[in-house]
Copies of this chain bind each other. A is one copy, B any other.
Amino acid sequence: MSVHKLENPRRNVADTAEPLGFRPLYRQVKAIFVRRLVDGVWAPGESLPSEGQLATEIGVSQGTVRKALDELAAENLLVRRQGRGTFVAEHDERRILFQFFKLVHDDGERRFPDSTVLGVETGKADESEYVALDLDGEADVIRIRRLRSLDAVPIILETLTLPQRVFPGLEAGPIPNNLYSLFAARYGVTIANARERLKAVALDADEASQLAAPVGTAALRIDRIAFSLDGSPVERRLSICLTKEAHYLSDLR
């Protein structure tokens, strides 16, 4: 039944000494599942086979499958719903809002900002870009510049840098507000997590005119690198944010 080679499917008397490290069975099972997500065998929104089916298919107990699925759910890659099944997570607005959008209006409400694209261009990566995206110096990138507004008030000036190799042709089409959903649907690239570095800066002349604020106004500069399922950086996003009526919310747990 099982078509997967699992290390040490049963550690028995005849085992030679383990060379180094030990990989529990449920992590090997998890790796199989991650591979299916990366390969698109299981696509966003789809429901997975039941725990029991997966267990017999792979040849382990249901408890082992459960532990693998639980870890993937904890990483927001799967969504489990009692009585319904297990589903591949989607980058719908709600998920983005809670997982990837930390700028919240001071009134406490989370809202999804509108976007106006200011420009799209392609070119060679500059140093900060190829370092961030782990590219070589001659790599081509796509740059998208857009202005984002909450309640029609411009609040974020955003510059995205994407490796052209990963997203060929993206520069030609329309740029949707929800990019991560497009990455998944059109390129099979799932954004799994991101790292943001924040600094306070003063607006320069260009930023000031775009954001309709005085030159020199203090603003939040967010330098985000987003990673795909396989751990490689696939997006760099530099945001300049006004924080007069909004703040960056960070939960420390």
Contact = CB atoms under 8 A, between A and B. Distances in A.
Interface of A: 75-76, 99-100, 102, 193-202, 216-220, 223-224, 241, 243, 247-253
Nearest to A192: B253
A243 to B, nearest CB: 4
Contact of A253 (B75, B197, B199, B219): B75
Nearest to A245: B199
A243 B198 contact: yes
Contact of A193 (B76, B196, B217, B252): B252
Contacts of A252: 99-100, 102, 193-196, 224
Given A76-B253, A100-B252, A220 B200 contact: yes
B243 A200 contact: yes
Contact of A218 (B75, B195, B196, B202): B202
The interface centre, meaning the residue of A76, A199, A248 with most chain B CB atoms within 10 A of its CB, is A199
Contact of A216 (B199, B216, B250): B216
Contacts of A193: 251-253
12 contacts: A193-B251, A194-B251, A194-B252, A195-B251, A196-B249, A197-B249, A197-B250, A198-B248, A199-B220, A200-B243, A216-B216, A248-B250
A20 B213 CA distance: 52
A224 B247 CA distance: 12
A198 B216 CA distance: 19
A30 to B, nearest CB: 16
Q: Lowest 5 A-B CB distances belong to which pairs?
A: A218-B218, A199-B243, A198-B248, A200-B218, A200-B200
A209 to B, nearest CB: 18
Nearest to A243: B199
